[in-house]
Amino acid sequence: MLDYNLLQKAPEKIKAALTKKHISVDFKSIQDLDKKRRELIGVVEGLRAEQKEMGKTIVSATDSEKEKRLSALKSLSEDIEKKKADLDRVLSEFNNLWLQVPNVPADDVPDGVDDSQNVEIKTWGDKPQFDFEPKSHEQLIESLDIADIDRATKVSGNKFYYLKGQGVILEMSILRYAMDILVKKGFTPLSTPDLVRREIMYGAAHFPPEDDAYALERDELFLAGTAEVGLAGYHKDEVLDGKVLPARYCGISACFRREAGSYGRKGGGLYRVHQFNKIEMFALTNPEKSEEEHQFLQATAEEIIQSLGIPYHVVLNCGGDLGLPQYKKYDIEAWLPSMNGWGETGSCSNDTDYQSRRLSIKYRTDDSKTAYVHTLNNTAVASPRILLPLIENYQQRDGSVKVPEVLVGYTGFDTIKPV
């Protein structure tokens, strides 16, 4: 969440953030409730101070005075409880709205309503030139027999899949390959929980709203959409030694997304699915190093996709394509020959102190004060999404798919052949 002080010191920044991110919140009600909140806090604190002073006088009072003061103290306690109840009600109403207010985006975030208005800032790699009609990933997974969508639909419904045979080995190889790169760079691997509490979903700013997640209502747990949620909650309510920053983690987990709605051509096959596997980078750093860390995470993700030999471009996300916590975000989009276009394979976000305020994660500064850390996250690899540009770009005339050289030591084979 944002610092409450912005409501008094810079409300125009919040209004500008709502406009740039195209988010509708009743800002006037937030300001009114904040005023009531601060007034009631002052009243309750004043009454408690009065209660404390009155309590001190009872010991030295005469019997007759003591009885009067005890009666007055009881009345004062009742007033405090009433005001506390009023404060709790106002706080609840205020927080419900305040949690919907997004992080203020960076100045260089472009204007735009959705991902069609993201701005390309970099391209890498040569697009393959085929002397045959390239197949789509849907055609390739069928001819190579490396996935089965029809049977998964029978078992689990739409947007589920089985990876099969060499497809499983290829996925596991990519995940392990990416993990090895991250470990060498000093990231600590974590296998994160797939189920998390509601407070962690709110803390990571994946709530509100709550209707985007799969819920286990009986147990009050939710399936996480990304390892970022578990990684964000890892240091909840802690004060870190500033000397350990940046603290870098790479989380491996299953991910669960509703992926509601229609996405046209990109919605088919393995592009948008309800369940997938991912390795997520997550960093906690001090504010002064926040932008530097963002660039480091982005460069690391690019290093991985470059080493796989997959052409891609990088876009800077516009305001309308930023989520609640995001201050600034880059997307890596890989080249998909079958669509003659780009498809997202990962995102790199700087959330500044938006998550850490919700989760109460601080660090101790050199002068022994405490401040909120900045949190950042980035996709190392997500599968099966990463498999799509890989098999499409590496397909051969005979219908086979070559395995990138860096993965052969992991897969044990250098080619996947049609069955």
pLDDT tens string 107-161: 999 999 999 999 999 999 999 999 999 999 999 999 999 999 999 999 999 999 9
Q: What is the DSSP string of 80-109?
A: HHHHHHHHHHHHHHHHHHHTTSPPPPPTTP
Question: Which band of pLDDT confidence, cut at 50, 70 and 90, is reported for residue 65?
Answer: confident
In a domain, 109, yes or no: no
In a domain, 1, yes or no: no
> Is the same domain home to 306 and 352?
yes
> Is the same domain home to 94 and 126?
no
Output the domain CATH number for residue 85: 1.10.287.40
CA distance 116 to 365: 41
> Is the same domain home to 172 and 317?
yes
In a domain, 168, yes or no: yes
Angle, nearest 10°, between helix axes 63-98 and 27-58?
A: 160
Cβ(358)–Cβ(150) under 8 Å? no
Residue 16 lies in domain:
6-98
Please tell me the predicted confidence (pLDDT) of residue 57.
Answer: 80
Question: Which band of pLDDT confidence, cut at 50, 70 and 90, is reported for residue 66?
Answer: confident
> Is the same domain home to 212 and 148?
yes
> Is the same domain home to 206 and 327?
yes
DSSP 266: G
> Is the same domain home to 182 and 81?
no
> Is the same domain home to 163 and 254?
yes
Please tell me the predicted confidence (pLDDT) of residue 268.
Answer: 74
Output the domain CATH number for residue 308: 3.30.930.10
CA distance 330 to 317: 6
Question: Which band of pLDDT confidence, cut at 50, 70 and 90, is reported for residue 319?
Answer: very high
> Is the same domain home to 240 and 171?
yes
The catalytic residue positions are: 257, 272, 344, 347, 385
Please tell me the predicted confidence (pLDDT) of residue 260.
Answer: 67
- Domain-terminating residue out of 36, 70, 98: 98
> Is the same domain home to 57 and 140?
no
Cβ(363)–Cβ(418) under 8 Å? no
Q: How many domains does the chain contain in total?
A: 2
- Domain-terminating residue out of 98, 131, 161: 98
Q: What is the DSSP string of 362-374?
A: EEE-TTS-EEEPE
> Is the same domain home to 302 and 376?
yes
Question: Which band of pLDDT confidence, cut at 50, 70 and 90, is reported for residue 52?
Answer: confident
Please tell me the predicted confidence (pLDDT) of residue 59.
Answer: 73
CA distance 297 to 339: 28
In a domain, 110, yes or no: no
More confident residue, 190 or 54: 190
pLDDT tens string 245-287: 999 999 999 999 998 654 555 657 899 999 999 999 999 999 9
Compute the half-sphere exposure of residue 13: CA atoms within 13 Å on the CB side of its CA: 16
Angle, nearest 10°, between helix axes 27-58 and 11-20?
A: 140
Please tell me the predicted confidence (pLDDT) of residue 228.
Answer: 98
- Domain-terminating residue out of 69, 98, 127: 98
In a domain, 103, yes or no: no
* Closest alpha carbon to 385 in 119, 174, 169, 122: 174
Cβ(103)–Cβ(324) under 8 Å? yes
> Is the same domain home to 297 and 341?
yes
Please tell me the predicted confidence (pLDDT) of residue 191.
Answer: 98
In a domain, 104, yes or no: no
- Rg, C-alpha atoms of the chain: 27
In a domain, 131, yes or no: yes
Residue length of the chain:
419
In a domain, 291, yes or no: yes
> Is the same domain home to 74 and 122?
no
